[in-house]
Amino acid sequence: MLSIIKTFWIDRGAQEAELSISDGDYVVLCFAHPWNESELQADTVFELLDAVALAATLNEVDLIEREGSTFRHRLVGTVTNKRKNMLKVGAFHFRLDSPFPGDIKDDQRVEITCARISW
């Protein structure tokens, strides 16, 4: 189950916030706009923005790793729907802002670095 463990308001009037969200195993720092303190759902989809360094991997262990104090994250997960650019890591569901490369297939393990995660 996903839960918000920390909220930092960047601009409350503009409804911009940084959220730390956990599934119990992994934590992501994401940017939310507009953020109206809505509840997380089990099927909440987060956007992976500016995904780069995308490659197939044999690593069978899911991973979400934040790079320093930035919004940048490295993820290892499973492609759940290539056509819709969907990836699952732990209990998190992500959508890439660009298509997977042509040689990537559904149910394949991939490693991705993204500039920011957004909700």
What are the Cα distances from residue 107, in Å, to 6, 56, 78, 82, 110?
32, 11, 6, 9, 9
For residue 54, name the pLDDT band (cuts at 50, 70, 90).
Answer: confident
pLDDT per residue as tens digits for the range 71-93: 999 999 999 999 999 999 999 99
Q: Which domain holds residue 14?
A: 3-118
For residue 34, name the pLDDT band (cuts at 50, 70, 90).
Answer: confident
When divided into structural domains, the chain yields a total of 1
Q: Please tell me the pTM assigned to this model.
A: 0.92
